[in-house]
Amino acid sequence: MFPTDIGMVVNDFLMQHFSTILDFHFTAKVEEEFDEIAEGNLNWTKMLKDFYKPFHKTIENTIDNSERASGERSLGKDPVSGKPIIVRIGRFGPLVQIGESGDENDKPRFAGLRKDQRMETITLEEALLLFKMPRVVGEFEGKEMKVGIGRFGPYVVHNNLFTSLGKEDDPYTITGDRCIELIKAKQIKDAEKIIRTFDENPDLKVLNGRWGPFIALGKKFFKIPKTTEATKLDFAAVIQLIGGMDAYEQAIATNTRMAASKKPAPKKFVPKKTAFVKPAFIKTTAAGKKAAPKKGIVKKTSAKKAKKAVKRK
């Protein structure tokens, strides 16, 4: 097991501001105090008060005086632009940054660290290599091939289709021939996945999955009995396996609603609500419902208001 960059930054922050809590003897001391409380030799409220008062002050002092921990480390300067290069923790993990963050006219460039890289050990040369992505490695079938590193690891993109690189492939040194080999392997795998398609509906397919053949209608999936041969299914037989024409149309409607829900809805004007002040005579029950006012209370209250109004006049 190895600590992550974020874990090390958090640990350094806690050691700096909460060194007493992270001390190895702290837990042992608390255990001893628990034993004394169990034996009746120590008041538990006093024990908690003695701990919490200084701890609360430490929290307030940390909030007021500490800065956000990023584990920032300077690596040097970019040989091309002369801008500073730093490594730090970003929103999505450790990254390398070229340039200053506050410069709006000349925004900095960012590149995420690889899984095998650490903030404490990465060098300037290794950091500069990260900015060479994505890199063009050649052409295949008249389309450009680009190698990059994404959220789920290194990949090659060709004709808007992404293919993951193998564990043994280095995205910085992989050749165009190797990328073509990976793309062809994925094309064969994708072709073998499709068992049948139908002219009546392109979204309706019979696919070969991990656990055997199944029917896919958009985002809806249906089982195929083991006794049924998937390669011989026609449109009518697939509709029957789905559950009939009504179930088929219902699945299409569900897919349409799911696709529509992903689109951002237009903002509607919502008038501001005025604050409601609960009258004194209305009580709220434990269940959150308004209890009926007691008889006479409303009338008396109204009568008092009426008398005051007459006096004012």
Read off the pLDDT of residues 257-302 as tens digits, 9 standing for 90 and up: 877 776 655 555 555 555 555 445 445 554 545 555 554 444 445 5
Could you tell me the pTM of the whole model?
0.45
Instruction: Classify residue 225: in a domain, yes or no.
Output: yes
Q: Determine which of 5-9, 113-117, 134-138, 157-161 has the lowest per-residue pLDDT on average.
A: 113-117
241 Cβ contact partners less than 8 Å away, ≥ 6 residues apart: 215, 222, 223, 224, 225, 228, 233
The parent domain of residue 54 ranges over 5-65
Residue 160: inside a domain, yes or no? yes
Tell me, yes or no, whether 179 and 158 share the same domain: yes
Read off the pLDDT band of 211 (50, 70, 90): confident
Q: What is the total residue count of the chain?
A: 313
Asked if 9 and 61 sit in the same domain, the reply is yes
**Terminal Cα-to-Cα distance of the chain (whole angstroms):** 84
Is the domain of 185 the same as that of 212?
no
Per the DSSP assignment, residues forming a β-bridge with 135 are 147
Give pLDDT, residue 114: 81
- Cα–Cα–Cα angle for 238, 199, 210, nearest 5°? 50
- Say what the pLDDT of residue 282 is: 46
User: In terms of domains, do 61 and 9 share one?
Assistant: yes
Residue 158 maps to a domain: yes
Cβ distance 203 to 255 under 8 Å? yes
Residues 6+ apart with CB under 8 A from 83: 77, 98, 99, 100, 108
Which contacts qualify for 168-175: CB closer than 8 Å, 24 or more apart? 171/133, 171/147, 172/129, 172/132, 172/135, 174/137, 174/147, 175/137
| 3-state SS track over 132-198 | CCCEEEEEECCEEEEEEEECCEEEEEECCEEEECCCCCCCCCCCHHHHHHHHHHHHHHHHHHEEEEC
pLDDT band at residue 138 under the 50/70/90 scheme: very high
> What pLDDT band is residue 86 in, cutting at 50, 70 and 90?
very high
Residue 243 within any structural domain of the chain: yes
Mean pLDDT of the chain: 82
- Give the end of a domain, one of 107, 130, 153: 130
Q: Which amino acid is at 22?
A: L
Q: Which of 84, 107, 130 is a domain's end point?
A: 130
50 part of a folded domain: yes
Distance CA 221, CA 204 (A): 10
Based on the number of CB atoms within 10 Å of its own CB, is 240 exposed (0-12), middle (13-18) or buried (19 or more)?
Answer: middle
Is 199 a domain residue? Answer: no
Residue at which a domain ends, from 150, 166, 192: 192
Q: How many domains does the chain have?
A: 4
Instruction: Flag whether 38 is in a domain.
Output: yes
The answer to whether 58 touches 50, Cβ cutoff 8 Å, is: no
Same domain membership, residue 238 and residue 216: yes
Task: Say how far apart CA 138 and CA 145 lie, in whole Å.
Answer: 6
User: Measured between alpha carbons, how far is 290 from 283 in angstroms, rounded to an integer?
Assistant: 6
Of 67, 177, 86, nearest to 128 by C-alpha is 86
| Phi, psi (deg, nearest 5) at residue 154 | -70, 150
Both 52 and 91 in a single domain? no
Residues 98 and 150 in one domain: no
Q: How many Å is the maximal CA-CA distance in the chain?
A: 99
Check whether residue 120 and residue 149 sit in a common domain. Answer: no
Residues 147 and 125 in one domain: no
Residue 85 domain-assigned?
Answer: yes
Task: Based on the fold, state whether residues 21 and 58 are members of the same structural domain.
Answer: yes
